[in-house]
Amino acid sequence: MPAGELRIAVRLTPRGGADRVDGVVDGALRVRVAAAPADGAANEALLRLLGRELDIPRSGIRLVAGHAARAKVVTVAATADLRRRLLERWPGLAV
pLDDT truncated to tens, each residue of the chain (95 aa)?
Answer: 455 889 999 999 999 999 999 999 999 999 999 999 999 999 999 999 999 998 888 888 999 999 999 999 999 987 768 888 888 899 999 88
Q: How far apart are CA 52 and CA 60, in angstroms?
A: 11
Angle at 18 between CA 15 and CA 23, to 5 degrees: 100
Residues with Cβ within 8 Å of residue 46, at least 6 apart in sequence: 10, 12, 31, 33, 63, 72, 74
Residue ranges of domains in the chain, CATH in brackets: 5-88 (3.30.1200.10)
Q: Find out whether 33 and 11 touch, Cβ atoms under 8 Å.
A: no
Phi and psi based region of residue 87 (left: phi greater than 0; alpha: psi -120 to 50; beta: remaining)? alpha
What's the confidence (pLDDT) of residue 1? 46
